[in-house]
Amino acid sequence: MKLAALFLVPVAAFAQDKTELIGKVGTRAALLILHSAERADGSRQVAGEYIILPTLARRYVEGERSPALGVTVLKEGTAPILFGRPGTGELRGTWRDGVFRGTRFGSGGQRREEFDFREEFPALDRYSATVRCEAKDGRHQTRLALSVEKGALKGLEWRSVDPDGQACALSAVEQRPMRGGLRFIAGGCGITLRDVGPFMALRAEHCAAHCDMGTVFIDRRGHCELLP
């Protein structure tokens, strides 16, 4: 997922923390991924996106979180860069102690629905699956072979071709402890697998020497969808 572009220049001057949360917007399951940076006054500038599951519709957000009570207001839009563009809504709530909950409002200030996100993901120590699939989104393509038995990696081969035609491949060689998911190391990349409800979400991060792998969402039948 391409989140780096969400930050305006002032945020780059601060260390960024990443937080993933799973929950619902109204009755719809959703995955929320936020990056935040602390300001001099203790408040935090926040940007990221949430993905509605299982439709995989994405909404981008940016805003701020107060230092003490965790009051958080995030403007929502359909494009990664929200500055200067009309928003599609706003998330208003409190984010503290691993929980972000509140109300989503429409672009005109209408009260739409409640939301509730939590940092706690289901454990995967008993997860077993063998997946072989291909997926495509526009000119971005991916091919995946994954085998896990009772939470232990048996094999992972992941190939991707980005829109520029650059191809790359990852083969996981080591498994690391991870709470609320599985984590693998492959060629300097960290790969995470998490249960996000309708899907298992597989994502590679910190792969400076590789092309963008995107995120592969694996449904319960072993079919895959790609979100660049």
State residue 13 phi and psi, 5-degree precision: -80, -5
d(CA 56, CA 31): 9
pLDDT given for residue 208 in this prediction: 64
pLDDT given for residue 13 in this prediction: 38
More confident residue, 46 or 173: 46
Spatial neighbors of 48 by CB under 8 A, at least 6 apart, are 3, 6, 32, 33, 34, 35, 60, 61, 62
Domain boundaries, given as residue ranges, for the chain = 4-118, 129-227
Query: pLDDT for 163-207, tens place per residue?
Result: 888 888 899 889 999 999 999 998 788 999 999 999 999 999 887
pLDDT given for residue 12 in this prediction: 41
Angle 204-167-159 from CA coordinates, rounded to 5°: 50
Instruction: Pick the range with the lowest mean pLDDT from 4-8, 18-22, 72-76, 141-145.
Output: 4-8
Alpha-carbon torsion (97, 31, 11, 61), positive or negative: negative
Query: pLDDT for 1-20, tens place per residue?
Result: 333 333 333 344 345 899 99
Which architecture characterizes domain 129-227 according to CATH?
Answer: Beta Barrel (2.40)
What pTM did the predictor assign? 0.89
Per the listing, tokens 């939470």 go with 151
Q: What percentage of the chain carries pLDDT values higher than 90?
A: 75
Query: pLDDT confidence of 211, banded at 50, 70, 90?
Result: low
Using alpha carbons, list the distances in angstroms from residue 193 to 64, 106, 171, 201, 224: 28, 33, 14, 6, 13
d(CA 132, CA 160): 14
pLDDT given for residue 130 in this prediction: 97
